[in-house]
Amino acid sequence: MLLKSNIKDLKKILKAENMLFREEERYCYAQDSANIPEEYNIPDIVVFVETIEEVQRIVKYANAHEIPIVSRGAGTNMVGSCVCNKGGIVLNFSKMNKILEFNSDDMTMKVQPGVVLNDIKNLAESKGLFYPPDPSNYKVSTIGGSIAQSSGGAKSFKYGTTKDYILSLTVVLADGTIMRLGSGTIKDAVGYHLNQLIVGSEGTLAIVVEAELKLIPLPEDKAVITAYYDSIDSASIGVNGIIRERIFPATIDFMDKNSINTVESFYPSGLNTDKECMLLVEVDGFTSSIDTQTERVKKALSETGASEIIIVKDKEKQESIWTARRASYAATAKLAPDVISDDIIVPRTKLGDMVRGCKDICDKYKLKVCIVGHVGDGNIHPQIALNTENDEEFKRYTDAKSEIYALAVNLGGTISAEHGVGLEKMQYIDKILDENSIEAMRRIKTLFDPKGILNPGKIFKM
C-alpha cells in the first residue's frame, strides 16, 4: 500500500493528469485477459509516462522505497502477466506511442513501447516492408507487451516470433540505470545477447523504453486456402503433407467444429459447420509462384482426405476469412460469462493426439471448449467458456487444465508456446523446467532486480 508521502513524492515527478488514484479508476487495471479474480490485483496508483526520464525517476523512487512496478501495454496478455498481485505502481505506456524512426533502406523501425502493432504493420506495409509477428489481437496489443511476452501469432510458422525482429532495446533497470542492448545491426556477435534475455521476460527484468525492429520485404502476393476434414487426425496428417510438398506457407491454422459453429452463431462468415475441423493455409511470395504453391497445397490436402478445398485470391474475402478465425475468442466468450484461452505446443506429429486428448479431457470435466491453433507450429489454443465465479465449475476447469498440461508434456511438448507464464502458469513451471534452470533464472532476476520490484510474483517463485 502506498503511503500519502509516496503519492506526494510521485506528484513531484509526474503531471497531475498522468496519475490515477481513485479506486474505480485503479480497479480498471486489476485485470488483463487472464480472468484472475480482480480483488487481489488492484494497483495502488496508475501513472501514464511520457518520457524515458520519467520512467527512470519513477523506477528509481520505487526501488528506493521497495514499491512494485508493473508495466502495462494494452493489458491483453492471457496469463495474468500485468496484474498487480503485490499492489504497487502501474506504468501505463499508452502515451509513449510514437514511431521514432523509419529507415526503408536498412529496413528498420525505432519505436516507443506503447505503439500498437497495427500501426507498425501499416507503416511498414505502406513502404513495401513487413513486420510479421501477428498475435490475433494485433490491432490493439502493443510492441512493449509483445516484446515482454515474445508474442507469436499465425505467421510464426514461416516468419518466427517477436524475438526474431528485435535488433536493439533501450531498457531502464530496476535502479533507474539506462542500457542499450544490441547494436541495431542485422547481425551482432559482440558479447552476450542481453536483448534476447529481455524478450519474453514479462517485465520482470527491465522496462523497455525503446525498441529497434527488423523489417523484411513485404511478399508481393498471397493466397488463402481453406479445407475441411472429417477427422482431426487426417487434418494433422494434412499439415505434414503440405510440408512434404516442400511448401513453406506463411500460416497453417486450425479451427475445430465447435469453434466453427460458435463463430457462425455469433459472426456468420459462411464457414462449413458440418465438418470436424478446418485448416486455413496462407501462402505468400512472388505472384508468379502463387499458383504453384496453391496447387501443391491443394494436392497435399486432397490426398489426406480434405474436402471443399477453396483457394481465395480476392483480398477482401481473404480478410473476411481471417476475421472469422480471429473472432473465435470473442465468439467463445459469448457462450458463458468468461472465457479462458490456453496455449500449448507439441511436436507436429503429435497434433492429432493433443487435439483429441484435449477434447476428451474437456468432455470428461463437462467443459465447453473451442479449439483453434497455429498448427504449423504444433501450437493449439483450447478456449474454454465457463463461469469462473462458479466454484464447482472452476474446480473442474483447473483439474482439466492440469490434465491438458500433463498430456502436452507427455507428448513431448510444453505448456506455453507464445502466451507466457505470468501468474496463471507459475504453479506448473517446476513440472516443466528442472530445478537447476529455475535456480539460474532466480539468480538472473536477482542480478537485474535485487529488490524484486519489477513485476514481482510472476513466472517462478523467488
Buried b / exposed e along 359-372 (16+ C-beta atoms within 10 A):
bebbeebebebbbb
Task: Mark residues 441-460: x for contact with ligand FAD by CB under 6 A, - for none.
Answer: --------------x-----
* Residues 425 and 415: beta-carbon distance below 8 Å: yes
132, 144, 219, 352: which one binds ligand FAD (CB under 6 A):
144
Binding to ligand FAD by CB under 6 A, coded x per residue (else -) over 101-120, reads: ------------x-------
For ligand FAD, the closer CB: 68 or 219: 68
Shortest distance, CB of residue 303 to ligand FAD, whole angstroms? 29
Q: What is the spatial distance between Cα 113 and Cα 116, in angstroms, rounded to a whole number?
A: 9
Per CB under 6 A, the list member of 42, 45, 74, 340 interacting with ligand FAD is: 74
Contact, 145 vs 77, CB < 8 A? yes
Q: How far is the CB of 134 from ligand FAD (least distance, A)?
A: 7
- Distance in angstroms (rounded) separating the CA atoms of residues 72 and 113: 10
Among 93, 130, 405, 460, binds ligand FAD (CB under 6 A): 93
Cell 510440408 belongs to residue: 243
Site residues (CB under 6 A) for ligand FAD, limited to 390-419: 418-419
Residue 327 CB, nearest approach to ligand FAD (Å): 9
3-state SS record for 154-180: CCHHHHCCHHHHEEEEEEECCCCCEEE
CA 446 to each of CA 92, 173, 297, 347, 451: distance values in angstroms, whole numbers, following the listed order:
24, 12, 49, 34, 7
Q: 102 vs 322, which CB is nearer to ligand FAD? A: 322
Give the DSSP H or E segment for 427: none
The answer to whether 170 contacts ligand FAD (rule: CB under 6 A) is no
How many CB atoms are located within 10 Å of the residue 280 CB? 23
Q: Which of 137, 129, 130 is nearest to 154 (CA)?
A: 137
Question: Residue 76 or residue 294: which is nearer to ligand FAD going by CB?
Answer: 76
For the bound state, the minimum distance from the C-beta of residue 154 to ligand FAD, rounded and expressed in Å, comes to 7
| 92 contacts ligand FAD (rule: CB under 6 A) | no
Give the binding range for ligand FAD (CB under 6 A) out of 124-132, 142-150, 217-225, 269-277.
Answer: 142-150
Q: How far is the CB of 152 from ligand FAD (least distance, A)?
A: 4
Answer yes or no whether residue 146 interacts with ligand FAD by CB under 6 A: yes
Ramachandran class of 333: left when φ > 0, alpha when ψ lies in -120 to 50, beta otherwise? alpha
Between 206 and 225, how does the x/- string for binding to ligand FAD read (CB under 6 A)?
A: -xx-----------------
> 242 vs 339, which CB is nearer to ligand FAD?
339
Between 40 and 286, whose beta carbon lies closer to ligand FAD?
Answer: 40
Strand extents, DSSP E, 131-276: 166-172, 178-181, 207-214, 216-217, 221-229, 251-256
Residue 371 phi, psi (nearest 5) = -105, 125
Q: In the bound complex, which residue of the shown chain has the CB atom lying closest to ligand FAD?
A: 145
Q: Nearest CA to 62 among 94, 81, 90, 92?
A: 90
Backbone angles phi, psi at 306, to 5 degrees: -75, 150
The answer to whether 171 and 179 are in contact (CB under 8 A) is yes
Query: 235-251 burial, b for 16+ CB within 10 Å, e for fewer?
Result: bbbbbbbbeebebebbb
- Name the residue nearer to ligand FAD (CB basis): 202 or 256: 202
Tell me how many residues contact ligand FAD (CB under 6 A): 36
Q: What is the contact mask toward ligand FAD in residues 275 to 314, using x (rule: CB under 6 A)?
A: ----------------------------------------
According to CB under 6 A, which residues from 348 to 387 bind ligand FAD?
Answer: none
At 409, phi and psi to the nearest 5?
Answer: -65, -45
Instruction: Tell me whether residue 26 or residue 72 sits nearer to ligand FAD (CB atom).
Output: 72
Say whether residue 20 binds ligand FAD (CB under 6 A): no
Q: Which one among 35, 63, 85, 136 touches ligand FAD, defined by CB under 6 A?
A: 136
* Residue 156, C-beta contacts closer than 8 angstroms, at least 6 positions apart: 133, 374, 376, 377, 379, 418
Applying CB under 6 A, among 72, 86, 155, 222 the residue interacting with ligand FAD is 72
Q: Which of residues 319-338 bind ligand FAD (CB under 6 A)?
A: 329
Cβ at position 202, least distance to ligand FAD in Å: 4
CB of 451 vs ligand FAD, minimal distance in Å? 17
Q: State the DSSP code for 72.
A: E
Torsion angle of the four alpha carbons 404, 407, 409, 412, in this order, in degrees rounded to the nearest 10: -130
Rule CB under 6 A: choose which of 13, 32, 84, 195 binds ligand FAD: 32
Contact 78, 35 (CB under 8 A): no
- CB of 83 vs ligand FAD, minimal distance in Å: 9
How is 449-461 classified by DSSP, letter by letter?
-TT--BSTT-SS-
- Applying CB under 6 A, the residues found at the interface with ligand FAD are 32-33, 70-78, 81-82, 93, 113, 135-137, 141-142, 144-146, 148-149, 151-153, 202-203, 207-208, 329, 418-419, 455
